[in-house]
RNA sequence: GCGCCGUUGGUCCAGUGGUAGGACAUUAGCUUCCCAAGCUAAUAGCCCGGGUUCAAUUCCCGGACGGCGCACCA
């Protein structure tokens, strides 16, 4: 049994997700979330918002998905997001033209060369296809940019691009965002929303798509002063797969604590380590199986140009399924699945803010006040432009600038009667008097610094998939096979289902309606179902992961005692009889992520029913 | 993008040069007091375009989509 096929089949049949636009044949890389999937995704985003925005004291924004070309010129996506491909005329293999060139010539950074030059290099060096050794000389080099381009406004308009990561929307707005943070570091800005990449070859269902949802946190820090609150996470256990282990043939992932990994230098950045610790708890909360989870460090060659240290959170999917009975101990041997990146933790330094500052001319800095104002002596000139102007004509301004530069570098030069400066290669001589040299005493209250950025970037869709696949179970209930999703109640699309045990008794139908209303009034997402046998209805809910089923039976409405209903727990199929007037409060408490209460609390407080149903 | 394989009700499959059948699911009714398979009935399908043919779901070509491999994944 391959879990991935079963999960995809279930996802289609039960409305979690499916390829979009099927009526028109579909287009690769786009998926629609059905009712259950949309609800799970929404729950996951809420859990993320709770942990990474609210609990971290960060602020969330929502920026446009389309941004003008200039943004991506600055971010480097316009150039750096390009791949140069050359296709072999013999065997049809596509190769990275820039990589081929770098591997076979002395050229470095071939990626930054224009296409015609790369074509020329291929010809000059008679580069050959690495697969079949056919000559590539004369073959065209195609450029492929992974960004979706569009046109803003009527006519040809101005070029715009769908953002390839939500992060740019945060970086670009930094000048205002820092105001909202009252100009104090550190602060964090989050965003949850779609991002777009025109993948060459979308694959693996919802794992690799062209439109996907990211949840990103950009933490802006003062690299010299700000430290993460490591004490919060130092004892958190994590499974790490550092670069050294990946490069060692016998290397493997191991378990340690965040604190120890930082202390030993395995994790290079305190901030990255901190977020690994925070994220670890969050993954557990949303139901990622920790036996199929690890943090993997990027290999040196894999690092983005701006990143000093980078770790991915990865989950293992597509492994042969595990039976429910063995899922607890995790001892069952499993065929290996694919490790997929579900989050990237990057130390982006000041790369992004500096680039946007450079290209936009705006200030992407924060003014950092010194504890004590500094008094410094500063050499300055105040050239007499009325003299310089007539003397140097159009060069006068440049001469004045050169004098200032000289004053900073070599104040003693102004002791002489004349000073010499160089402008555009020409030596210019100026009377020292004209320069009006002086040494001023100025008070500096602080400095403008460009914050560094620490970024955890979550791929929501892949986490949704992971959570569903890791929750996928099969077992037997009363000797009948069952498929169910052991989703955490916080993630489940539906909180509870309500059934009249049989549909030929109006008392049961009426009370079931009433209970449904009560639960919905309490804010629960409730499904009502009176169709088919009771077992069938339980299975329907099991299969989409509804954690609790409430059944109205005749025993509960007969007699003089207050009406009762049965509450069934999904995974164990155990049941407890609860008074109707209590059921909304009890379920609400069971479903509250803040409340550790388990089903046992119900069986302790009320009568558990001997169902005689066995799960195995 | 390249190569190989595939595409038949909602889902999973069988099958055919003369427009198709099952299972599960769904709906209606019967039955039914707790774990999918009791009874009756109903709904629903040959990926798209072109070609060959009297006739194409079937054969051929192209495309789309999916799976795998290569490449790609900043």
pLDDT tens per residue, range A384-412 = 777 767 777 777 777 777 777 777 777 77
Tokens read off for A294: 């690890």
Which residue is it, tokens 């929404």? A42
Fold (topology level) of A82-145: Herpes Virus-1 (3.30.40)
**Tell me, in Å, how far CA of A27 is from C1' of B59?**
28
A165 touches strand B (CB under 7 A): yes
The two tokens of residue A551 are: 């059944």
Burial degree of A119 (CB within 10 A; 0-12, 13-18, 19+): buried
| Segment holding A190, helix H or strand E | strand A187-196
The mean per-residue pLDDT over the stretch A273-278 comes to 97
Confidence of residue A122 (pLDDT cuts 50, 70, 90): confident
Q: Is the pLDDT of residue A532 over 70?
A: yes
Residue A24 CA, nucleotide B57 C1', distance (Å): 19
**Alpha helices per DSSP H over A230-384:** 243-247, 258-263, 270-286, 324-327, 351-360
Instruction: Kindly give the pairing relationship between strand A82-87 and strand A94-96.
Output: antiparallel
CA pair distance A55, A217, nearest whole angstrom: 13
| Residue whose token pair is 């636009």 | A21
CA at A207, C1' at B46: how many angstroms apart? Answer: 30
The reported pLDDT for the residue numbered A156 is 73
The reply to whether the CB atom of residue A312 sits less than 7 A from any atom in nucleic acid chain B is no
Q: How many angstroms separate the CA atoms of A161 and A182, rounded?
A: 31
C1'-nearest nucleotide to the CA of A208: B73
Burial track A381-391 (b if 16+ CB lie within 10 A, e otherwise): bebeeeebbee
Q: How confident is the model at residue A528 (pLDDT cuts 50, 70, 90)?
A: very high
In CATH terms, the superfamily for domain A494-609 is Anticodon-binding domain (3.40.50.800)
CA of A15 to C1' of B43 (A): 20
Tokens 């390009």 sit on residue: A82
pLDDT (tens digit per residue) in A569-600: 999 999 999 999 999 999 999 999 888 888 99
Distance A551 CA to B72 C1' (A): 53
Q: With residue A310 as reference, give the H or E element that holds it.
A: strand A310-317
Task: Say what the pLDDT of residue A109 is.
Answer: 62
For A92-111, b/e burial (b = at least 16 CB within 10 A) is eeebbbbebbbeeeeeeebb
**Separation in Å: B19 C1' and A23 CA:** 21
The CA dihedral of A378, A379, A385, A386, to the nearest 10 degrees, is: 110
Pick the CATH number of A368-448 from 3.40.630, 1.10.1760, 3.30.720, 1.10.1060: 3.30.720
- Check residues A30 and A419 and name the one with the higher pLDDT: A30
- What is the C-alpha separation between A181 and A175, in angstroms, rounded? 10
Of residues A301 and A494, more confidently modeled: A494
Instruction: Identify the CA nearest to A547 among candidates A264, A287, A228.
Output: A287
Q: How far apart are CA A453 and CA A444, in angstroms?
A: 26
Distance CA A236, CA A213 (A): 28
Mean pLDDT of chain A: 86
d(C-alpha A613, C-alpha A616), whole Å:
10
Whether the pLDDT of residue A270 is over 90: the answer is: yes
The span from the CA of A19 to the CA of A28, in Å, is: 8
The predicted pLDDT at position A117 comes to 74
pLDDT value for A330: 35
CA of A284 to C1' of B61 (A): 53
pLDDT at A322: 44
Percent of chain A with pLDDT strictly greater than 70? 90
Phi, psi of A25 (to 5 degrees): 90, -15
A200 touches strand B (CB under 7 A): yes
Give the residue with greater pLDDT, A550 vs A132: A550
Pairing of strands A187-196, A338-349: unpaired
- 3-state class (DSSP) for residue A72: helix
Q: Is A382 or A456 the better-scoring residue by pLDDT?
A: A456
Which two structure tokens, joined as six digits, stand for A220? 């802006």
- Which ranges in A133-203 belong to alpha helices (H)? 167-172, 174-180
pLDDT band with cut points at 50, 70 and 90 for residue A179 = very high
Judged by average pLDDT, the poorest of A34-48, A203-217, A333-347 is A333-347
Determine how β-strand A338-349 pairs with β-strand A366-380.
unpaired
CA A345 to C1' B33, whole Å: 55
Nucleotide showing the shortest C1' distance to residue A341 CA: B73
Work out if A384's Cβ lies within 7 angstroms of strand B.
Answer: no
Per-residue confidence at A121, pLDDT binned at 50, 70, 90?
A: confident
- Quick one: which of A218, A232, A223 has its CA closest to A278? A232
In the structure, how far is the CA atom of residue A213 from the C1' atom of nucleotide B35, in angstroms? 38
Q: Distance in angstroms, CA of A477 to C1' of B31? A: 23
Q: Is the CB of A92 under 7 A from strand B?
A: yes
CA of A531 to C1' of B42 (A): 16
Average pLDDT over residues A122-147: 73
Q: Identify the burial level of A255 via C-beta atoms within 10 angstroms of its C-beta, where 0-12 means exposed, 13-18 middle and 19 or more buried.
A: exposed
- Residue A225 tokens, joined: 């002063």
The answer to whether residues A48 and A102 touch, using CB atoms and an 8 Å cutoff, is no
Structure tokens at A139: 């073959």
Q: What is the pLDDT of residues A313-370, one digit of tens each?
A: 999 998 654 443 333 333 334 456 789 999 999 999 999 999 999 999 899 999 988 8
Instruction: State the pLDDT at residue A328.
Output: 36
| Residue A139 per-residue DSSP state | P
Give chain A residues 463-482 with Cβ within 7 A of strand B. Answer: 477-478, 480-482
Distance of CA A553 to the CA centre of its chain: 47
Instruction: List CB contacts of A120: < 8 A, sequence separation 6 or more.
Output: none
B strand bases under 7 Å from protein CB = 1-3, 10-12, 25-28, 31-38, 47-48, 63-74
Evaluate if the CB of A29 falls below 7 Å from strand B: yes
Q: In angstroms, how far is B72 C1' from A260 CA?
A: 36
Q: What's the Rg (C-alpha) of chain A? A: 32
Is strand B within 7 Å of residue A343 (CB)?
no
Determine the distance from the C-alpha atom of residue A389 to the mean position of all C-alpha atoms in its chain, rounded to a whole number: 57
> What SS3 string covers A362-381?
CCCCEEEEEEEEEEEEEEEC
- Asked if the Cβ of residue A207 lies within 7 A of any atom of strand B, the reply is no
- Among candidates A144, A152, A175, A156, which has minimal Cα distance to A67? A152
- Res A420 pLDDT > 50: yes
The least confident of A84-93, A220-229, A265-274, A556-565 is A84-93
* Contacts for A4 with CB less than 8 Å, ≥ 6 apart: A205, A317, A318, A337, A469
* Window 144-163 of chain A: CB closer than 7 A to strand B: 146
Closest C-alpha among A302, A64, A40 to residue A173: A64
Which 497-556 positions of A have CB less than 7 A from strand B?
A: 501-505, 531-536, 538-540, 543, 551, 553-556
**Phi-psi sector, A81: left (phi>0), alpha (psi -120 to 50), beta:** alpha
Q: What's A291's DSSP letter?
A: G
Q: Are A400 and A385 in contact (CB under 8 A)?
A: yes
- Strand A575-579 to strand A564-569: parallel, antiparallel, or no bridges (unpaired)? antiparallel
| Class at the top of the CATH hierarchy for domain A3-70+150-353 | alpha beta
A359 contacts A73 by C-beta, under 8 angstroms: yes
ipTM field:
0.90
Nucleotide whose C1' lies closest to the alpha carbon of residue A555:
B33
Residue whose C-alpha is closest to residue A496's, from A426, A451, A454, A552 = A552
pLDDT of A59 reads 97
Q: How far is the CA of A94 from the C1' of B71 (A)?
A: 6
- pLDDT (tens digit, 9 = 90+) per residue, A63-83? 999 999 999 999 988 876 666
pLDDT of residue A132: 61
A204 touches strand B (CB under 7 A): yes
How far is the CA of A34 from the CAs of A218, A274, A527, A570, in angstroms? 30, 35, 16, 22
* pLDDT more than 90, % of chain A: 56
What residues does each domain of chain A span? 3-70+150-353, 82-145, 368-448, 494-609
Q: Give the CA-to-C1' distance from A43 to B37 in angstroms.
A: 35
Q: Among the listed ranges A168-182, A318-332, A451-465, A538-552, which one has the minimum average pLDDT value?
A: A318-332
**Residue with the larger pLDDT of the pair A302 and A326:** A302
Strand B contact residues in chain A (215-254), C-beta within 7 Å:
none
In this structure, what DSSP letter does residue A140 have? Answer: P
């Amino acid at each position: 049994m391959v879990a991935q096929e079963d999960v995809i089949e279930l996802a289609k049949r039960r409305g979690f997700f499916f390829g979009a636009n099927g009526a028109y044949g579909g287009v690769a890389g786009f998926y629609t979330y059905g009712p259950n999937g949309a609800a799970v995704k929404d729950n996951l985003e809420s859990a993320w918002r709770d942990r990474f925005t609210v609990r971290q004291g960060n602020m969330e924004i929502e920026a446009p998905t389309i941004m003008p070309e200039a943004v991506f010129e600055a971010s480097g996506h316009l150039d750096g997001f390009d791949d140069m491909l050359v296709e072999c005329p013999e065997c049809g293999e596509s190769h990275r033209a820039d990589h081929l060139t770098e591997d076979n010539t002395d050229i470095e950074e071939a990626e930054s060369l224009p296409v015609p030059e790369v074509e020329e290099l291929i010809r000059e060096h008679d580069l050959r296809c690495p697969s079949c050794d056919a000559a590539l000389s004369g073959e065209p080099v195609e450029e492929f940019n992974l960004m979706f381009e569009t046109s803003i406004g009527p006519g040809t308009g101005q070029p715009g691009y769908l953002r390839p990561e939500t992060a740019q929307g945060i970086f670009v707005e930094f000048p205002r965002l820092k105001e909202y943070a009252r100009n104090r570091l550190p602060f964090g800005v989050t965003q949850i929303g779609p991002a777009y990449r025109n993948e060459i070859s979308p694959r693996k269902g919802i794992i690799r798509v062209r439109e996907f949802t990211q949840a990103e946190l950009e933490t802006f820090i003062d690299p010299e002063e700000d430290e993460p609150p490591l004490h919060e996470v130092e004892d958190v256990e994590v499974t790490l797969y550092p670069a050294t282990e990946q490069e060692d043939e016998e290397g493997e992932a191991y378990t340690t604590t965040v604190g120890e990994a930082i202390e030993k230098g395995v994790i290079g950045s305190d901030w990255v380590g901190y977020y690994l610790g925070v994220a670890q708890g969050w993954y557990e909360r949303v139901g990622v199986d920790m036996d199929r989870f690890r943090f993997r460090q990027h290999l040196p060659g894999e690092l983005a140009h701006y990143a000093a240290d980078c770790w991915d959170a990865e989950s293992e999917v597509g492994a042969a399924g595990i039976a429910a009975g063995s899922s607890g101990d995790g001892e069952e041997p499993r065929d290996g699945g694919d490790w997929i990146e579900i989050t990237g933790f990057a130390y982006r330094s000041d790369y992004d803010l500096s680039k946007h500052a450079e290209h936009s001319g705006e200030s992407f800095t924060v003014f950092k006040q010194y504890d004590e104002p500094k008094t410094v002596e500063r050499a300055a000139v105040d050239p007499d432009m009325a003299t310089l102007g007539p003397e140097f004509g159009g060069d006068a301004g440049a001469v004045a600038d050169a004098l200032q530069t000289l004053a900073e570098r070599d104040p003693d030069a102004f002791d002489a009667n004349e000073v010499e400066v160089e402008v555009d290669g020409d030596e210019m001589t100026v009377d020292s008097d004209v320069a009006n040299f002086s040494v001023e005493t100025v008070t500096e209250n602080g400095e403008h610094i460009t914050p560094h950025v620490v970024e955890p970037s979550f791929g929501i869709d892949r986490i949704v998939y992971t959570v569903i696949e890791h929750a996928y179970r099969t077992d037997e209930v009363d000797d009948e096979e069952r498929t169910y999703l052991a989703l955490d109640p916080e993630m489940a699309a539906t909180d509870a289902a309500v059934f009249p045990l049989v549909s030929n008794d109006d008392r049961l139908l009426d009370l079931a309606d009433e209970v449904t209303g009560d639960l919905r009034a309490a804010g629960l997402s409730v499904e009502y179902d009176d169709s088919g046998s009771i077992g069938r209805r339980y299975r329907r809910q099991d299969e989409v992961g509804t954690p609790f089923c409430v059944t109205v039976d005749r025993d509960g409405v007969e007699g003089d005692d207050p009406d009762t209903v049965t509450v069934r727990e999904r995974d164990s199929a155990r049941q407890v009889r609860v008074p109707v007037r209590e059921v909304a409060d009890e379920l609400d408490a069971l479903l509250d992520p803040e409340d550790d209460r388990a089903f046992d609390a119900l069986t302790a407080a009320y009568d558990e029913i001997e169902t005689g149903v066995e799960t195995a």
